């Protein structure tokens, strides 16, 4: 199996895209750390991976907390002895609001998870990779990291930041055997998307060519490839996975 004995940490792995990625990597032979704020869902994902014959462990983290980001890496290394790769995927969506309607707390809530959380986790992972001789990171951005989206000012700014940070890390660590990439999904059928009011789901669905959101597995497959040795010369890239939505 392509990830036999590799160790990966995935934030936001209790649901949606992160859950699919955890299951995909475990099915390919990896030892997986499921990191999430939501313990019940995280433990459920670990149990489902074990039932399918895989190896996984859960750790409760709030990616917006510096100590939790450090503790995540410590947990991975103390549990499985090493860290080969990470997916910084935990994220929260924003209610549809124009910029003048947005209060500062709402702005901060999105940014603390979607951008600061990626920075804090990446920083801890990069320190570990520098010590261990290398590794690879995939950050979950969004199509909204490359263009505007109606009513998504805070989210759009945070996801543009994730793509900028990905490019920056890629050039800073390319000679340290560390690759850093991002995925930019279009619409994906996850609990985050389904949490939007029906009319907002319909508005965003209408923007998606073909009229269907991606299944989480369609994003997880690309994440797995970016983590794999098949992508050994790919770094600083943002892989748009949106069935040509951005071309519309």
Ligand X SMILES: NC(=O)c1ccc[n+]([C@@H]2O[C@H](COP(=O)([O-])OP(=O)(O)OC[C@H]3O[C@@H](n4cnc5c(N)ncnc54)[C@H](O)[C@@H]3O)[C@@H](O)[C@H]2O)c1
Per rule CB under 6 A, is residue 12 in the interface with ligand X?
yes
- 3-class secondary-structure state, position 134: coil
Which of 69, 87, 90, 240 touches ligand X (CB under 6 A)?
A: 90
Which of 41, 94, 152, 181 touches ligand X (CB under 6 A)?
A: 41
155 assigned to active site: yes
Instruction: Closer to ligand X by CB, 2 or 44: give it.
Output: 44
Q: Are 94 and 110 in contact (CB under 8 A)?
A: yes
Per rule CB under 6 A, is residue 136 in the interface with ligand X?
no
Instruction: Closer to ligand X by CB, 18 or 153: give it.
Output: 18
Count Cα neighbours of 12 within 13 Å in the Cβ-side half-sphere. 26
CB of 63 vs ligand X, minimal distance in Å: 4
- Alpha-carbon distance 246 to 248, whole Å? 6
Per rule CB under 6 A, is residue 62 in the interface with ligand X?
yes
Per rule CB under 6 A, is residue 15 in the interface with ligand X?
yes
Instruction: Closer to ligand X by CB, 15 or 166: give it.
Output: 15
Per rule CB under 6 A, is residue 228 in the interface with ligand X?
no
Helix, strand, coil percent values for the chain (each to nearest 5): 55, 15, 30
Per rule CB under 6 A, is residue 196 in the interface with ligand X?
no
The CB density around residue 6, as the number of other CB atoms within 10 Å, is: 23
- Choice among 155, 173, 196, 204 that is catalytic: 155
DSSP letter string, 44-86: HHHHHHHHTT-EEEEEE--TTSHHHHHHHHHHHHHHHS---EE
Q: Are 153 and 102 in contact (CB under 8 A)?
A: yes
Beta bridge partners of 34: 10, 58
CB of 10 vs ligand X, minimal distance in Å: 10
Q: Catalytic residues, which ones?
A: 155
The site for ligand X (CB under 6 A) is made up of 11-12, 14-18, 36-38, 41, 61-64, 89-92, 113, 117, 140, 142, 185, 187-188, 190-193
């Amino acid at each position: 199996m392509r990830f036999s004995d590799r160790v990966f940490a995935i934030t936001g792995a209790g649901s949606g895209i992160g859950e699919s990625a955890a299951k995909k990597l475990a099915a390919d032979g990896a030892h997986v750390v499921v990191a999430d704020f939501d313990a019940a869902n995280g433990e459920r994902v670990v149990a489902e991976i074990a039932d399918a014959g895989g190896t996984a462990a859960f750790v409760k983290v709030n990616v917006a907390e510096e100590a939790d980001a450090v503790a995540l890496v410590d947990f991975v290394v103390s549990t499985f002895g090493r860290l080969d790769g990470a997916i910084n995927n935990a994220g929260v969506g924003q209610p549809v609001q124009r910029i003048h309607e947005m209060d500062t707390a709402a702005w901060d809530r999105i940014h603390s998870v979607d951008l600061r959380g990626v920075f804090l986790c990446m920083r801890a992972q990069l320190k570990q990779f520098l010590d261990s001789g290398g590794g690879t990171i995939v950050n979950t951005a969004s199509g909204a990291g490359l263009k505007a989206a109606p009513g998504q000012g805070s989210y759009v700014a945070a996801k543009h930041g994730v793509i900028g940070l990905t490019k920056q890390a890629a050039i800073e660590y390319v000679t340290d055997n560390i690759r850093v990439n991002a995925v930019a999904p279009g619409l994906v059928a996850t609990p985050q998307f389904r949490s939007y009011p029906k009319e907002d789901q319909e508005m965003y669905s209408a923007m998606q060519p073909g009229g269907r959101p991606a299944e989480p597995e369609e994003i997880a497959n690309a994440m797995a490839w970016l983590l794999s040795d098949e992508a050994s010369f790919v770094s600083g890239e943002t892989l748009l996975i949106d069935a040509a939505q951005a071309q519309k």
